[in-house]
Amino acid sequence: MARHGFTAFVLPGAAFAPHQSTGRGGWGVSFLGDHVSRRAPYRSCVRFSQHHGSRSASATAGAARRLKMVSVQDDDLLSAENIPVLAFTGHRMKVYSGSANPELAEKIARLVGKTSSNRILRKKFSDGETYVRIEESVRGCNVFLIQSACGPNVNDHLIELLLMIDACRRAHSQQITVCLPYYCYSRSDRLIDPDKKRREALTSKLVANMLSEAGAHRVVVLDIHSPQTCGFFDIPVDHIFAAPLFVEYLLKKKHADPSSLGYVVVAPDVGGVARARAIAKALDDVPLAIIDKRREAHNEAKVLNLVGDVRGKVAILVDDMIDTAGTICEGARMLRENGAEKVFAVATHPIFSGPACERLSSGVFEEVIVSDSIPVPKEKQFPQLRVLSVAPLIADQLIRLHDLSLR
């Protein structure tokens, strides 16, 4: 750096401000994204921190062409109040994708200011064992691992994630954050009928232990089956909700047709009341209804009763996931029998196993609205299906976490 001046790479429209961590009255600038050095001052996501952290301006750049060269003189800076001195941070952001949902990981990587996810080698040996190798240095980096541990190879995806965590830990990453858009085994979160002494495994807790023991420092989950599962972890957990995504979509549909019927949000069981109530409140406080059901066995449920009025309305059946679709389709038929004009299904995780696609496309639903937390292959897509991307929600959370680590 020159004695009386320096050159900095900044984004168009960005402003410098004092950095609270320098302690010497210096410029504060934090780079989120690729490492910025003398040789490679290219892709960056720049954060300028205001004095005392009261305000901040965030911006992203996906390529060097969006950056400007700005020359600033020290004398000009030192003559004004709140004068900053440039300080480059050594923190770097790396985003790696597992093999379960690479499309979602690429979307997230672009939204956090990278051209693509970072390089990682994943392969299978002839005996079925998994091999993982990080293809670049991650020493001192903040690493984000994105993996939906979903079917049909859920166990392989889980093992692959554990190997990714271990590889990053042994490569001296500063912080490892595991992002699980779909958390596997989340339904095995309690012991059922302990009086019958079934001696079953509490698998959700076991998976939480495996992630933390492998070396993860933080976990990000999306609409986990039971929020209390977050208590199974001994490390910080960030729980993201996809409800704002669905609410925005439904409100747009409603505003596009002012003559449309009123909404009523329906919880498929008592356990889903809190989720359904939150969406009902966001949809301008529409009414709430509840389906009373009894689960006879795994993937089998019997609908018994409906609490609430759905006659002459558009029923929105809300759940966290759709597996075989037996429960949600049975509930939709009951809603139509009770006078609902239309029925929409809203679920975050489209597992779609077994006869799910056949049931959902049978005509009982006007639309089936899901997220891309789990990839839906072409053979499982049908005309009523609408897929909304959760990449912006996850990317925003990852940027916040990385920003927090720089303070």
Task: Give the residue carrying structure tokens 């004095």.
Answer: 51
Asked if residue 43 lies in contact with residue 113, where contact means CB atoms within 8 angstroms, the answer is yes
Nearest Cα to 100, choosing from 157, 152, 183, 145?
157
Contacts 24+ apart (CB under 8 A), 224-232: 224/183, 224/186, 224/320, 225/183, 225/186, 225/187, 225/189, 225/320, 225/321, 226/186, 226/189, 226/190, 226/271, 228/189, 229/183, 229/186, 229/189, 229/204, 232/189, 232/204, 232/205, 232/208
Report d(CA 342, CA 365) in Å as an integer.
7
Task: Give the residue carrying structure tokens 């499982």.
Answer: 380
How many angstroms from the chain centroid is the CA of residue 359?
28
Task: Give the residue carrying structure tokens 């956090």.
Answer: 112
- Cβ within 8 Å of residue 31, ≥6 positions away: 44, 45, 46, 47, 88, 89, 91, 92
User: Between β-strands 385-388 and 367-371, what pairing exists: parallel, antiparallel or unpaired?
Assistant: parallel
- Cβ within 8 Å of residue 54, ≥6 positions away: none
Task: Give the residue carrying structure tokens 């891309």.
Answer: 372
Instruction: Note if 293 is an active site residue.
Output: yes
Which of the following is catalytic: 123, 293, 313, 378? Answer: 293
Other C-beta atoms closer than 10 Å to the C-beta of 280 total: 22
Cite the active site residues. Answer: 293
